[in-house]
Amino acid sequence: MQGVDLLRLEFDIHHIAVVSRKVPEEHALIRLILSTLATADELQNLVKRDLRLVKRNGLNYYYVKLTSAGKSRISPIDSRTYQVLSEISEDMRGKERIFSYSKEEMDRIVEKHSPSDRKYDVEKLRNAVILILRDCMLFGDEGYIENLIEGVNLDRVTDFLYDFHPIYAGMWDMDDDEVAEDFINTYARLTGISNPRDIAEAIGESVERVERLMKK
């Protein structure tokens, strides 16, 4: 991981997640990449019935079946991503594909929501998340990421993601004021934009909230 600016990488991912909220379908696509490391093929093949809710020990766990080249894997997803996917597919039939984008369109969606000076596509975004997850491991690489991509050792992978994946802790969302404040201040510093109204419009937040957090 030497030579990689992980703080900037984390901001880039957060930026893509936040700005994409303006278009629910695009936000859902991006969240699924972040939450599961989904590939373009897996995104194209996703249908409504692939979303699964499992109740265990009084708790809700969320999963998705991802398929590529005839091979399937089961991956955990965070609750917010499950919610967003459920909302955009609410009126779809069980076998209906959730996303109708071509691979090129998916790449353009990710690029559109990237910071102006750092352009990502689906694969680059996946790789960025992998770097962040490797950095989150406390005891070195124990194969969690490979297990996630291969769809094996599901319970082990689920525990790892719930404990260490930033999206499960809300670190790539804007609900928490401290998280939002840090993102807004970093956004202002990197873009040179200091007007709260301009920032609010760019990231899809209210002017009042941006002003309040910038004054802290």
Can you give the pLDDT at residue 200?
98
pLDDT tens sequence across 117-155: 999 999 999 999 999 999 987 666 679 999 999 999 999
Task: Let me know whether 91 and 181 are in one domain.
Answer: no
Looking at residues 47-52, what average pLDDT do you find?
98
Whether 1 is covered by a domain: the verdict is: no
19, 33 contact by CB (below 8 A): no
**Chain mean position to CA 171:** 10
pLDDT tens-place string over residues 16-49: 999 999 999 999 999 999 999 999 999 999 999 9
58 and 84 in a single domain? The answer is yes
**What's the rounded Cα separation, in Å, for the pair 120 and 32?**
15
Number of domains in the chain: 2
Domain assignment of residue 115, given as a range: 6-173
The pLDDT of 86-113, averaged and rounded, is 98
State mean pLDDT over 57-68.
Answer: 96
How buried is 99 (Cβ within 10 angstroms: 0-12 exposed, 13-18 middle, 19+ buried)?
buried
Q: What is the mean pLDDT of the chain?
A: 95
Residues 21 and 106 in one domain: yes
Q: Is the pLDDT of residue 89 over 60?
A: yes
Please report, as a single letter, which amino acid is at residue 37: L
User: Based on the domain organization, do 142 and 167 belong to the same domain?
Assistant: yes
Quote the pLDDT of residue 137.
79
- The full length of the chain comes to 216
- The per-residue pLDDT for 139 is 63
What pLDDT score does 3 carry? 56
- Give me the mean pLDDT over the 50-66 stretch: 95
**Residues 157-215: pLDDT tens digits?**
999 999 999 999 999 999 999 999 999 999 999 999 999 999 999 999 999 999 999 98
pLDDT value at residue 75:
98
Same domain membership, residue 64 and residue 104: yes
Mean pLDDT of 75-93: 97
* CATH number of the domain where residue 116 is located: 3.90.15.10
Q: Encoding tokens for residue 27?
A: 């936000």
pLDDT of residue 4 exceeding 80: no
In this structure, the answer to whether residues 136 and 192 fall within a common structural domain is no
Q: Residue 52 pLDDT > 80, yes or no? A: yes
pLDDT score at 140: 62
What pLDDT score does 141 carry? 62
